[in-house]
């Protein structure tokens, strides 16, 4: 599903208390807002309630008055909420290395309107993909990585993030581990994609390792980054069946397709405000 372009998005979470659904939906009714989509989830283990509502505004809708009233209504529930206006397009910065499949897919989906976002810059530790960014009219920043002075390179990356006002960073096969400091700055605002194979097959040439073990599934995971490598809260996953006839090159090709599709789905969930952080897990509505 995708967001209708003319709707507002209301997202909220709070402790699990009687009347939480009514508090939100009745408030919308009282303000003559027409609900077009509604999803909620009550997590019995964490004791938290999550809700996402899309609605169309009535004539004369006053955003500031609406926000103030909802904040007052939600106080009794300890409710935190966000309100996203129609046609909102977050500013996105994409980080890449040499592989182009995820970058190309994201830029294509932006161009055709499938992902409602504005890519404001592409940052890379290699110059290889600059022509692709230039073809889309997007600034490309090549910051070569000196292993002896990684903080200097990350400082330049962070400067671009600040200068462009990027609200989301996508690691589209950026083959470098971010420092704990940068992970902290991007907490909940950076999405990574990596292969999902069982066993884990860490290190060089994971698909060749998988081939040697005779894997029967290949997949990919889109997740928020944190200081634990490839172990941040999961947003979306994809998987496909393979068999003995798939050579390493076939596994790599399938992996590229799944990575691109899964990353795009995870990014879509994020920019449509469908993802809630729930401790180390996510709720996707």
CATH number of 91-284: 3.40.50.170
Q: How many CA atoms lie within 13 A of 159 on its CB side?
A: 8
Q: What secondary structure letter does DSSP report for 93?
A: E
Confidence at residue 261, expressed as pLDDT on a 0 to 100 scale? 97
Residue 165 backbone class (left: φ over 0; alpha: ψ -120 to 50; beta: rest): left
- In the chain, % helix, strand, coil (3-state, to 5) comes to 35, 30, 35
Q: Which residues contact 57 (CB under 8 A, 6 or more apart)?
A: 8, 33, 86
SS3 132: helix
The domain limits of the chain are: 8-84, 91-284
The predicted pLDDT at position 201 comes to: 82
Which ranges in 99-240 belong to alpha helices (H)? 101-111, 130-135, 150-164, 180-185, 206-213
pLDDT at residue 231 in the model: 80
Asked whether the beta carbons of 163 and 91 are under 8 A apart, the reply is no
- The one catalytic residue in 187, 230, 250, 257 is 230
- What per-residue confidence (pLDDT) applies to 1? 59
Q: Do residues 117 and 144 touch, judged by C-beta distance below 8 A?
A: no
Please report the pLDDT score of residue 146 as a whole number.
Answer: 87
* Residue from 197, 192, 155, 159 nearest 177 by CA: 192
The pLDDT assigned to 226 comes to 86
Write down the CATH superfamily of domain 8-84.
ACT domain (3.30.70.260)
- 3-state SS, residue 128: coil
Q: What is the pLDDT of residue 147?
A: 84
CA distance 219 to 236: 11
Sign of CA dihedral 14, 193, 96, 1: negative
pTM exceeding 0.85: yes
* 230 in catalytic set: yes
pLDDT at 228: 73
Return the pLDDT at 26: 96
Q: Report residues of the chain scoring pLDDT below 70.
A: 1-2, 229-230
Residue-level pLDDT at 229: 67
* Distance, CA of 2 to chain centre: 14
| φ, ψ for residue 246, nearest 5 deg | -90, 115
């Amino acid at each position: 599903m995708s967001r209708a372009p003319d709707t507002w998005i209301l997202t909220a979470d709070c402790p699990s208390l009687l009347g939480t659904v009514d508090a939100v939906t009745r408030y919308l009714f009282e303000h003559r807002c027409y609900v077009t989509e509604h999803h909620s989830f009550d997590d019995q283990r964490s004791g938290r309630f999550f809700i996402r509502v899309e609605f169309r505004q009535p004539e004369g809708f006053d955003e500031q008055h609406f926000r103030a009233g909802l904040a007052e209504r939600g106080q009794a529930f300890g409710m935190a909420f966000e309100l996203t206006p129609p046609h909102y397009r977050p500013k996105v910065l994409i980080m890449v290395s040499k592989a182009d499949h995820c970058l190309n897919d994201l830029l294509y989906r932006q161009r055709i309107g499938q992902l409602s976002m504005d890519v404001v810059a592409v940052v890379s530790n290699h110059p290889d993909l600059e022509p692709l960014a230039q073809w889309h009219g997007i600034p490309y920043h090549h910051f070569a990585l000196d292993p002896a002075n990684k903080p200097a390179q990350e400082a330049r990356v962070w400067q671009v993030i600040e200068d462009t006002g990027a609200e989301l960073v996508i690691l589209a096969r950026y083959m470098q581990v971010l420092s704990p400091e940068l992970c902290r700055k991007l907490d909940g605002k950076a999405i990574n994609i990596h292969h999902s194979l069982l066993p884990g097959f860490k290190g060089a040439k994971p698909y060749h390792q998988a081939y040697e073990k005779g894997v029967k599934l290949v997949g990919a995971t889109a997740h928020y980054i944190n200081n634990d490598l490839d172990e941040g809260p999961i947003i979306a996953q994809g998987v496909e069946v393979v068999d003995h006839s798939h050579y390493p090159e076939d596994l790599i090709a399938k992996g590229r397709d799944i990575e691109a599709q899964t990353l795009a789905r995870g990014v879509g969930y994020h920019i449509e405000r469908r993802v809630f952080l729930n401790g180390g897990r996510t709720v996707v509505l």
